[in-house]
């Protein structure tokens, strides 16, 4: 088994459509536009209510046009609309997209499952072909891991754990302080979506998502979750964004063990955000020692290129199914909704010592 054979790229479209960016926030400059430049995908222009911010990004990346009105941006014929707006604004923007258009929507799919359902209904009614930018599963490391699992190299997956212990600079996103829900839909959603891609749909969930004294304005910034995949599969997440004690014991990894092998993915971007460290993937096949898989890129920006390539290829008929569809994203939002219900239930009370 040659680990260099594992898939790490989503193929480029043969006839890419022009991309029109809706929103010019930090993630657009840090990941979206660098990814499209990397893949030589055409970007026709950029819109943001803050025109000065849009112009600054357009100048930095050499974009041909800045739209001063949303209507003008949405009038570009044959475009794929790259909608990167805060969750509260997403349903209204989707409702203005042209009928029959193609769009990639920034995660999360609204603030809760009710808004996700509204977006899903809008896309169906207006025949909008939309994907949601849950891009972690399109990173080189995760594509390779999924390929190894699909080839049967690891056997049947029986153990999957995500462990993130890092220091995240939440101050970079001031709008997060006003959200009723934060950590699960804004960060751990990536892990939950990737788990769904690897293991399928969980049947039940348990979990807690809590605040931290250093970030009292955030609804929560630490999460523990368990996903139920039956009696012989353990799936858990432990996510702490406040490990501010140096790099030695920081963690940002997904570990999967199967009946024939195991794999560990390190997601480097969390370890020094936004600069990040390189991703890595190691695989231990049955009866063999650990081997490192040489990676062709990282979560940022390569996964952002992967998910856009997939939507572009679907738009021109080269991919038959849209794995990042709003239907798939709705299921991820459903897992998050179930975790909030589990969090509200607070589990089972521990018995008190009899008097």
CATH number at residue 183: 3.30.360.10
Q: Which residue has the tokens 């009105």?
A: 69
130 and 20 assigned to the same domain: yes
Q: Tell me, yes or no, whether 351 lies in a domain.
A: no
CATH number (domain holding residue 35) = 3.40.50.720
The residue segments making up the domain with residue 252 are 137-298
Q: Within a domain: residue 53?
A: yes
Dihedrals phi, psi of 26, to nearest 5 degrees: -60, -40
- Torsion angle of C-alpha atoms 160, 165, 170, 175, degrees rounded to 10: 30
Is residue 339, in this structure, part of any structural domain at all? Answer: no
Query: Does 327 fall in a domain?
Result: no
**Is residue 348 included in any domain, yes or no?**
no
Note whether residue 158 is domain-resident: yes
The overall pTM is greater than 0.95: yes
Measuring CA to CA, how many Å separate 73 from each of 57, 83, 296, 343? Answer: 16, 11, 34, 41
User: What's the number of domains the chain is made of?
Assistant: 2
- Same domain for 49 and 125, yes or no, is yes
Is 290 a member of any domain?
yes
Enter the tokens of residue 6.
């594992």
The tens place of each residue's pLDDT in the chain, 355 residues long, gives: 899 999 999 999 999 999 999 999 999 999 999 999 999 999 999 999 999 999 999 999 999 999 999 999 999 999 999 999 999 999 999 999 999 999 999 999 999 999 999 999 999 999 999 999 999 999 999 999 999 999 999 999 999 999 999 999 998 888 899 899 999 999 999 999 999 999 999 999 999 999 999 999 999 999 999 999 999 999 999 999 999 999 999 999 999 999 999 999 999 999 988 888 999 999 999 889 999 999 999 999 999 999 999 999 999 999 999 999 999 999 999 999 999 999 999 999 999 999 9
Residue positions counted in the chain: 355
């Amino acid at each position: 088994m040659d680990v260099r054979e594992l898939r790490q790229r989503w193929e480029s479209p043969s006839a890419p459509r022009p991309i029109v960016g809706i929103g010019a926030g930090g993630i657009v400059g840090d990941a979206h536009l660098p990814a499209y430049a990397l893949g030589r995908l055409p970007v026709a222009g950029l819109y943001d209510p803050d025109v000065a911010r849009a112009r600054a990004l357009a100048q930095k990346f050499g974009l041909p046009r800045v739209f001063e009105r949303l209507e003008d941006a949405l009038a570009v014929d044959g475009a794929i609309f790259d909608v990167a707006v805060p969750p509260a604004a997403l349903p209204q923007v989707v409702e203005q997209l042209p009928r029959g258009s193609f769009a990639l929507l920034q995660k999360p799919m609204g603030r809760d499952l009710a808004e996700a359902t509204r977006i899903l209904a809008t896309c169906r009614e207006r025949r909008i072909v939309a994907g949601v930018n849950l891009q972690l599963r399109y990173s080189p490391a995760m594509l390779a891991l999924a390929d190894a699992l699909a080839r049967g190299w690891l056997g049947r997956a029986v153990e999957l754990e995500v462990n993130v212990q890092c220091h995240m600079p939440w101050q970079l996103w001031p709008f997060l302080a006003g959200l009723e829900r934060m950590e699960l839909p804004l960060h751990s959603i990536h892990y939950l979506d990737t788990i769904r891609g690897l293991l399928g749909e969980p049947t039940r969930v348990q979990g807690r998502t809590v605040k931290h004294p250093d970030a009292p304005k955030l609804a929560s910034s630490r999460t523990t979750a368990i996903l139920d995949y039956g009696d012989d599969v353990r799936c858990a997440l432990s996510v702490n964004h406040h490990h501010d004690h140096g790099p030695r014991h920081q963690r940002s990894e997904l570990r999967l063990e199967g009946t024939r092998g195991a794999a560990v993915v390190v997601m480097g971007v969390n370890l020094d955000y936004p600069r990040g460290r390189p991703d890595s993937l190691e695989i231990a096949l049955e009866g063999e020692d650990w081997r490192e898989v040489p990676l062709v890129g990282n979560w940022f920006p390569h996964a952002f290129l992967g998910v856009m390539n997939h939507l572009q290829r679907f738009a021109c008929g080269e991919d038959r199914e849209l794995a990042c569809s709003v239907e798939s994203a709705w299921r991820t939002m459903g897992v998050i909704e179930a975790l909030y219900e589990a969090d509200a239930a607070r589990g089972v009370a521990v018995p008190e010592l009899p008097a």
